[in-house]
Amino acid sequence: MLNLVFLILSLALILGTIRLIKGPSSADRTVALDTITTVISSLLVLVALFFKNNIYLDISLVFAALSFTSVIIIARYIEGSG
């Protein structure tokens, strides 16, 4: 079951990376970046479940908070330059 979830999240990561590279606009790239960081955070939770180690949950929480902040900063930059 964990292998299937890992496969689905890996596919989502690949598709998000493609959208980040090919995105026609800055807004599309920002949404793709947010999606990628969410998938990476989910992968960290999956790793915590697989290894039965709670430190990965803490890392995932900090990563999610930092990625949320970075996406807000990027969105404000795009809003100001548009």
- Does this model's pTM top 0.85? yes
Per-residue pLDDT band for 73 (boundaries 50, 70, 90) equals very high
49 token code pair? 């479940």
- Tens-place pLDDT, residues 16-36: 999 999 989 988 999 999 999
Neighbours of 33 (CB within 10 A): 19
Residue-range definition of the domain harbouring residue 57: 2-81
Element holding 17 (H helix, E strand): helix 2-22
How many structural domains is the chain composed of?
1
Q: Which pLDDT band holds residue 82 (cuts at 50, 70, 90)?
A: low
